Amino acid sequence: MMRVPGIVFIATLLASFPTRAAELTEAERQLAANHPRPGYEEVADIKAMAAALRKELSQRERYSFSRGWWTWDRLRARYVDGGRRNRNELLILQAVFRALILDWHARMEARGEEDLMFIYFVTTAPGSKTERKLPDGATLIRDYHGGGYHGGWGGAARMRIYEELVRQKMLTADEKERFRRIVHQSMSSRFLDFTKGAQSANNHSYGNAGGIAMALKLFPEVPQAKEARAWIARIWRHLADYGDWREWNYFPYGPIFLHGMIDIAESMDWIEKEAEVLHAVGKRVLGFVHGGGLRGGPNCGSPVFKDREALYLDPWNLGNYRVETPGRDGHFWYRLAQHYGNSHYLWAAEQSVFGGDPPESFSSIAIEASYSKRFAWFEKRGIRSRAPAGGARIGLLSSLVHKVPERLYLEADRKAGTPFASYFLYPHKDEHLDSLSGQLYEYVAHGAKFLHSSGKYSMLGKGGGTGEESLDVLLVMHSRNPFPLHPDRPENGDFIRKGSIELIPGMLRAGNNKTGDSFGQFGWNNYYGDGSRWIRRTVLTREGFLVVSDEYTPSGLLGPGYHVGPVWHLALEEGRTFGSQTQHWFDAPALEHAWWQNSKYRVRLTLHNDNNLKFGAIKQNVSQDLDPNMTTYAYQPAEAGRSTRFLSVFVPYPVNGKPLKPTTSLSDDGDGAATIGRTAVRIGTDGTWSVTRTQP
């Protein structure tokens, strides 16, 4: 390890790289700001801009080796898919690569730390998120020497940019040799032990594997090539054997995994060879996407990005959802659509980037120009988007192998403006989320979202989550605790859902009638106690009315003093009072509206009241990815062996209008009915249902 560079090297360093002692002038700071920019066509002096950007980046003491590289990779994609004609974009990429890789390494070399820089990830070095220790005692500092365990997430981006710069003859022989040394060093056993760390298909392994796969493609003689190939084979086999990957929090983890999946397939030349697996994963994730620019998630809110002008100006780096690295989601669908020329994947890309078309098409120069900027590659090839069929259905995990029910979708189609609601069904906890089974995680009608997830990591006791009352489910708890503040621990007679409930496959149903209405049903065994059962049946009408029938039958394990009732999270309204109440309805604004919806909506939640229910609302603690909301609830005593039933009716209405007030009934046998204006909904305990309408 060279700690003191020689005189010859110092002279070469000063001649080849920007001088670090010189501070940026005000003109240079302006040239170096706000990159990557939406366009570089009109730059008067691109060489001056590139030099200023290189100087500014190379003088930083910290830079993200993970997420920070994703935007530069999209600039590379913009350049390549634009026909490689915009040389200004290429010069910016050259400046970035030289500053953040070559200059960065040269600076470490000048400090005698050149052997500590790594551009992939470390699996063997112990330590924290900010520092790790190598076996020889050297300290690795995150976002200086490399990126820690997440640092490999930017590895594929770095390699693709290098590949393009070499293709365009934009690096000298010395620069290519320097990078070869960095790659070989980063692939050494000092940094990487491919038998440790993630060995299955998840966001860690796939987010990191893209850079490793690209290293094997571009530098096949790297150290540990055999070990690296074996590791990639293991994590791919885990994906292929199961036929899917099992992480539920789509933002931010989904795009990390999904891009890694494409990175591996591209680098290993598996796009066609492994097409069946890629399509299986792609089509499952495609099920999460609806038309109209609104969505929820089992454990993330996916709020809408409001600044449409900024989005139209820079559709490569912004998107329809205000989430972490919003451009990543649309770009995954973009890449998948490119490889297969698939119109459904292109539709999903449009939904993620722009929120899709409004229900009634309208001409907008800004939208059309922005669309052409983002999707010109497809326009030139005559590839047009097309919405998938949609409809009420059971979404399957591992559709090729295990066919595990994962989600229940209620909708007539996937057009913008069509009402939809979705439940999460998968009962097993994964490493990032607790069990969210049975949760209604999105309900949208009229371009307004009325229910969605209660928040990222909502049940983990961190990030703002509070527990089982954080979910839109049926809750059971002992009266020693105030409903619905569940203690989330199995003590003093309280039960918990997570880790114990079992889906009843024979209870699953999903279907549509001929008039655009949807029905879904599911049931759980061991729901708050072995032998207890919860069955939920739901009708979503074409008007957007949502009628939910709950039936809970506790086993003999449930002793006296328990309460049971539905919990629903509505938007928090300023001035709202909390606590118990006598009225059996709640009124709230929409959580948010689609970008195209100018008419604002509210929702009225009515619960069938047989004079045994108690009602109330509390302010809900939520995590950082959601706006504040309130937990509304109704409950009554639960008695072992006796079925307790509830009927919840959601009625959307315009802000300036009056809500239709439903009339409801529950028979002794549990059949539920609701009449909302001229629309009558019936839900039977035998799984039958109907929606009828009287003429005006």
Q: In what order do the strands lie in the sheet with 393-397?
A: 393-397, 404-411, 420-424, 440-445, 448-452, 592-593
Question: Is residue 476 one of the residues assigned to a domain?
Answer: yes
- Domain check: are 379 and 491 in the same one? no
Tell me whether residue 89 is in a domain.
Answer: no
357 in a structural domain: yes
How is residue 174 written in tokens?
């010395």
Residue 519: strand pairing partners: 511, 539
- Residue 622: which CATH number? 2.70.98.70
> Distance (Å, rounded) from C-alpha 105 to C-alpha 341?
40
- Domain for residue 51, yes or no? no
How far apart are alpha carbons 54 and 97 in whole angstroms? 8
User: Backbone phi, then psi, for 388, in 5-degree steps?
Assistant: -65, 165
Residue 295 and residue 442 share a domain: no
On whether both 629 and 498 belong to a single domain, the answer is: yes
Number of domains in the chain: 2
Lookup result for tokens 């049903």: 521
Note whether 346 and 376 are same-domain residues.
yes
Does 581 fall in a domain? yes
Residue 201: count other Cβ atoms within 10 Å of its Cβ: 26
Instruction: Quote the pLDDT of residue 464.
Output: 39
In this predicted structure, what is the pLDDT of residue 611?
Answer: 87
Shared domain for 332 and 475, answered yes or no, is no
Write down which residue in 359, 388, 417 finishes a domain. 388
List per-block mean pLDDT (blocks of 10 residues) for the chain, which spans 696 residues.
36 42 90 97 96 97 93 98 97 98 97 96 87 91 90 95 98 98 97 94 94 98 98 98 85 89 98 98 95 88 92 96 90 98 97 89 83 97 96 96 96 96 84 74 96 64 60 92 85 81 95 98 95 98 98 93 95 90 96 94 96 91 70 95 97 97 95 98 97 94
Domain that residue 483 falls in = 394-654
Distances (CA, A) of 669 to 29, 119, 266, 363, 553: 74, 65, 58, 54, 13
Q: How much is the pLDDT for 3? A: 37
Residue 367 sits in the same domain as residue 399? no
If asked whether residues 434 and 534 sit together in one domain, one would say yes
**Quick one: 325 and 352 in the same domain?**
yes
Does 161 reside within a domain? no
Cα of first residue to Cα of last residue in the chain, in angstroms, is 86
Check whether residue 455 and residue 377 sit in a common domain: no
Residues 496 and 357 in one domain: no
Residue whose pair of structure tokens reads 């920007």 in the numeric block = 18
Would residue 380 count as lying in a domain? yes
- Are residues 360 and 375 both part of a single domain? yes
User: What is the per-residue pLDDT for 78?
Assistant: 98
Q: What is the reported pTM?
A: 0.94
In a domain, 178, yes or no: no
Q: What is the pLDDT of residue 291?
A: 95
DSSP 445-504: ETTEEEEE---TTTTTTSTT---GGGSSSEEEEETTS-TT----S--TT---STTT-EE-
- Residue 351 CA to residue 345 CA, distance in Å, equals 10
For residues 367 and 446, membership in a common domain is answered with no
Position 662 scores a pLDDT of 98
